[in-house]
Amino acid sequence: MLVDDHPMLRRGLSDLLSMEDDLLPVAQAGSGEEAVALALSHELDLILLDLNMPGMDGIETIRALRAAGVDTRIIIFSVSDDHDDVLEALREGADGYLLKDIEPEDLIEHIRLAAQGKMVLSAELTEVLAQAIRGRPACAQTQPSMLTRREKDVLKLIAKGQSNKMIARSLDIAEGTVKVHVKRLLNKLGMRSRTEAAVWVVENDLD
């Protein structure tokens, strides 16, 4: 789904992606409110979301989507390279952040990577995330040994970019059970987003 308050941009993106055999735009939204409604009525693999929109902006839209139980991968697509914007988007649950001056072929490649569960960032923004990780205090002092085996299994699949539905299939448990595990894990780790949890898995070499 493409979410942007500029119809011309949405049309251009839709035309660009429709030229690819493996990419199919199935919905477009001109506002955050419309995006939430459409996300709840469509089976989406990925949402490309503008940050600066009138009314409900991109950050508020992410919060609303996650609060509504939407675990579709969300990529911010913005002109803003402000460090605070990037970090807040990732902390609230975005799975990547791309700048609108990206080359079309690079955008397509990043979308494919995101759909495969990878975190995607414009090259100019990778140092922002690296600095944030280096300067971050240990979250809640949680050690891997404090997690149950099931919690570790869920965390490792989150780090691979799997959605709640995919995790449920992998572990042969109900999707509702996965949601409970994820919520408890984020609380235990003192984190607000799956992205932060994925970074924590890498930092702690979870076995």
Sorted by where each starts, the structural domains of the chain and their CATH numbers stand as 2-134 (3.40.50.2300), 139-204 (1.10.10.10)
Burial (CB < 10 A; 0-12, 13-18, 19+), residue 48, is buried
Burial (CB < 10 A; 0-12, 13-18, 19+), residue 130, is exposed
For 22, residues 6+ apart whose C-beta sits below 8 A from its C-beta are 112
Q: What's the confidence (pLDDT) of residue 142?
A: 63
Q: What's the confidence (pLDDT) of residue 137?
A: 52
Contact 72, 163 (CB under 8 A): yes
pTM: 0.72
- Three-state secondary structure readout of 82-115: CHHHHHHHHHHCCCEEEECCCCHHHHHHHHHHHH
Q: What's the confidence (pLDDT) of residue 136?
A: 55
Q: What's the confidence (pLDDT) of residue 133?
A: 59
SS3 142: coil
Q: What is the dihedral of CA 18, 20, 23, 24, to 10 degrees?
A: 30
Rounded distance between C-alpha atoms, residue 157 and residue 76, angstroms:
22
Spans of the chain below 50 pLDDT: 138-140
* Torsion angles phi and psi, residue 189, rounded to 5: -85, -10
Q: What's the confidence (pLDDT) of residue 140?
A: 47
Rounded distance between C-alpha atoms, residue 100 and residue 6, angstroms:
13
Pairing mode, if any, of strands 2-3 and 28-29?
A: parallel
